[in-house]
């Protein structure tokens, strides 16, 4: 898809020139003006939140009352990696009145595994902008 324009009643319009989404049984790929990403592996999107809750309940039982909340009856598991690159978002921040904007690409990567009851998230944000203030390197493993 290409050349979308969202025009609010007041303010500047938001334009999306390119949007490409493809998926098969083991790979979802997204390419757009503001975000590129992929999910690779086995995934059951309706149960990802439950998978994350289960994994977190083992590491932080007080957050979930120590109970595992998941009853995945689909027979599918979540065992995937993901990579996202958030590109320049000044126009998005302005359109949606967001408190932060990305001025250099931000990389987000991670993995989720029902099989090993593990998940990981890596974030690399060289600079973010809040109003006129630059927020320097934010990197977490």
- Domain ranges for the chain: 21-44+78-140
Q: Where does the pLDDT of residue 111 fall: very low under 50, low under 70, confident under 90, or very high at 90 and above?
A: very high
Count of C-beta atoms within a 10 Å radius of residue 82 = 17
Which residue carries 């690159």 as its tokens?
Answer: 85
In terms of Cβ atoms closer than 10 Å to its own Cβ (0-12, 13-18, 19+), residue 99 is exposed
Q: What is residue 49's three-state secondary structure?
A: helix
Helix ranges restricted to H, 1-141: 48-59, 61-64, 90-96
The pTM of this model reads: 0.79
pLDDT digits (tens, 9 = 90+) for 47-103: 888 888 888 888 777 776 655 555 555 677 899 999 999 998 888 888 888 888 888
């Amino acid at each position: 898809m290409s050349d979308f324009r969202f025009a609010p009643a007041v303010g500047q319009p938001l334009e999306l020139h390119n949007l490409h989404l493809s998926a098969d049984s083991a790979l979802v790929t997204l390419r757009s003006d503001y975000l590129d990403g992929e999910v690779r592996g086995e995934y059951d999107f309706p149960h990802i939140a439950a998978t994350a809750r289960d994994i977190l309940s083992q590491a932080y039982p007080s957050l979930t009352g120590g109970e595992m909340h998941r009853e995945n009856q689909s027979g599918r598991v979540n065992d995937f990696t993901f990579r996202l690159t958030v590109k320049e978002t000044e126009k998005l921040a302005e359109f949606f009145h967001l408190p932060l904007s990305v001025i250099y690409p931000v990389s987000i990567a991670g993995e989720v595994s029902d099989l090993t009851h593990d998940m990981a998230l890596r974030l690399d944000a060289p600079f973010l902008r809040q109003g006129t203030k630059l927020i320097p390197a934010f990197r977490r493993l």
